[in-house]
């Protein structure tokens, strides 16, 4: 049985996540007015339609693009020494110390409670078209999976191979991979909640909802 109390205590001991914000591509960087120590906000709004705090602008081919904080927290580092310089793709620009939100804590704990279906190979993954349509209309939790079901498409080396789900049947509780991003072999792709576990998961969610105090 899952020891929710102990898991929660562990997270409470280190409730932060350090998020490194990197240049998404090459370009010349210009920083905005915020400075280390400032609080920044992340993406917000009911439909995630409001972008986070503007940290810098990255200009490539005369196209200035905003670099914003994705999560809220305290701005720990800002590489202002790069001001006005050309940076390579992936260059760290800032570090945000993010206090874990309820949702994030739940998702961390769920990794213990759900059946994790992991990536067989390092590759990019997509849902099969039929499942994809279901998810786009009804959300992932509208999809029930069962052992042997053709669920995903694995794309690597320009080849696409079907991936069959293995494990207990249940609903897709969480999706861990993102469109067009490589997933390492062994990393979780999906968290599946078997029927029998539903009560445990609900309890877990409830516990976090009541016990986890969010901070800005």
Partner 1 sequence: MDTNHIVLIANRGEIAVRIAQACHRLGIGFACVYTEEDAASGHLQVARELGGALFRVSSYHDANEILSVADQAGATAVHPGYGFFAEDFRFARRVTTRDRKMIFIGPSWQVIQALGDKINTKRLARSLGVPTVPGSDRPIYDEQEAEKIARSLYEFQLQQGVAHPLVLVKASAGGGGMGIEEVYDIDQFRSVYRSIRNYALRQFKDEGVLIEQRICEFNHLEVQIVADRTGKNPVHFGTRNCSIQSTGRQKRLEVAPGFAPADIKYDFDAAALLDTITSHSLKLAQKVGYDNVGTWEWIVTRDGSPFLMEVNTRIQVENGVSAKIARLNGKPGVDLISEQIRLGLGEPLGYTQSDVSLEGFGIEYRIIAEDPANHFSPWVGRIERFSWEPQPWLSMHTHVPAALDGTPYDIPTEFDPNLALAIVWGADLAEAKARGHAFLDSLVLEGHDKDGSPLQSNVAFLKDRTDGILRFA
Partner 2 sequence: MDIEKRAQHLTDRLSYIRDIFVGRNGEIIDSLGVRLDSFFQNLADGSMKSPLEELVQLEKGFDEVERLLDSSLTPMEKVRIVRHPQRFCLRDILENVYDNFTEIGGQDEHSIDPSMVIARATITRHQGKKKYSQLIMVIGQEKGHGEEFRNGGSVKPWGNAKARHFMQVAETENIPIHTYVFTPGSFPVEDYPGAAQQIASNLYEMAGLSVPIISVISEGGSGGAEAIALADRRLMFSHGYYSVISPEGAAAIEGRLKGGARATPELIAHCAERLHMTAQDNLNFGYVDRIVQEPCLGARPFHYDFFRTLRQEVIRATDEAVLGARGFSPMRRLTLRRWGRDDTNMDEVFLSWNLSDSAREKLVAKRQKKFLRLSKGACWDRRPVLSRLRRNARESWDSLYARVKFELYTRHRQRISNFMNETLSMAVWLRDRMLYPITRKPVGPRLRPETVRELTTLSTWKEEDESRKGRWAYVSPRAREDRTVTCPNAATHGCLDLWAPDLYGEFAGVCTTCGHHFPMEYQWVVNNVFDADSVREFNAEVEAANPLNFPGLGESIQKAKEKTKLKSACVTFEARLNGIRMIVAMLVGPFRGGSVGAAEGLKFVEAAKLAEKKRYPFLAYVHGTAGIRIQEGTHGVIQMPRCTVAVRRYIEAGGLYLVLYDTNSYAGPVASFLGCSPYQFAMRSSNLGFAGVGVIKETTGIDVPPHYHSAYKALSRGHIQGVWDRREVRANLEQLLLTAGGRNLYYR
Q: Where are the beta strands (DSSP E) in 51-181?
A: 54-60, 63-68, 73-78, 86-87, 92-99, 115-118, 123-127, 144-145, 150-156, 159-164, 170-175
Taking CB under 8 A as the binding criterion, the range among 55-63, 83-91, 163-171, 192-200 that sits at the site for partner 2 is 55-63
Write down the least CB distance from residue 62 to partner 2, Å.
4
Task: State the CB neighbour count (10 A cutoff) for residue 107.
Answer: 17
CA distance 186 to 43: 29
Q: How far is the CB of 116 from partner 1 (least distance, A)?
A: 18
Among 14, 37, 47, 216, binds partner 2 (CB under 8 A): 47
Is residue 139 near partner 1 by the rule CB under 8 A? no
Q: Is 65 in the site for partner 1 (CB under 8 A)?
A: no
For residue 90, the minimal CB distance to partner 1 (Å) is 6
Contact flag: residue 61 with partner 2 (CB under 8 A): yes
Q: Is 49 in the site for partner 2 (CB under 8 A)?
A: yes
* Residue 5 φ then ψ, to 5°: -55, -50
User: Closest by alpha carbon to 149, among 123, 168, 136?
Assistant: 168
Residue 81 binds partner 2, judged by CB under 8 A:
no
Would you give the binding string for partner 2 spanning residues 171-200, x where CB under 8 A is met?
Answer: --------xx--------------------
Calculate the CA dihedral of residues 205, 209, 211, 215 and round it to 10 degrees: 130
CB atoms within 10 A of CB 25: 14
Burial grade of 87 (CB within 10 A; 0-12, 13-18, 19 or more): buried
**Using the rule CB under 8 A, which residue among 50, 122, 141, 146 binds partner 1?**
122
User: Nearer to partner 2 by C-beta: 11 or 30?
Assistant: 30
Contact set with partner 2 (CB under 8 A): 46-47, 49, 60-63, 65, 179-180
Residues in contact with partner 1 by the rule CB under 8 A: 24-27, 60-61, 63, 86, 88-90, 121-123, 156-159, 182, 185
């Amino acid at each position: 049985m899952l020891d929710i109390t102990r898991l929660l205590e562990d997270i409470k001991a280190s409730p932060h996540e350090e998020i490194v914000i990197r240049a998404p591509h090459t370009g010349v960087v210009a920083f905005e007015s915020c400075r280390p120590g400032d609080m920044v906000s992340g993406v917000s709004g009911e439909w995630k339609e409001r972008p986070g705090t503007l940290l810098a602008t990255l200009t490539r081919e005369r196209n200035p693009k905003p670099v914003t904080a994705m999560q809220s927290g305290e701005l720990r580092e800002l590489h202002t020494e790069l001001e006005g310089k050309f940076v390579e793709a992936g260059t760290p620009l800032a570090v945000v110390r993010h206090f874990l939100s309820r949702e994030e804590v739940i998702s961390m704990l769920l990794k213990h409670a759900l059946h994790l279906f992991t990536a067989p190979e390092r590759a990019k993954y997509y849902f099969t078209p039929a499942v994809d349509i279901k998810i786009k209309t009804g959300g992932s939790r509208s999809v029930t999976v069962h052992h042997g079901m053709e669920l995903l498409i694995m794309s690597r080396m320009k080849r696409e191979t079907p991936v069959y789900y293995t494990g207990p049947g249940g609903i897709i509780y969480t999706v861990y991979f993102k469109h067009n991003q490589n997933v390492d072999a062994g990393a979780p792709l999906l968290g599946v909640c078997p029927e029998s576990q539903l009560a445990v998961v609900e309890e877990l969610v409830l516990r976090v909802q009541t016990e986890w105090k969010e901070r800005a």
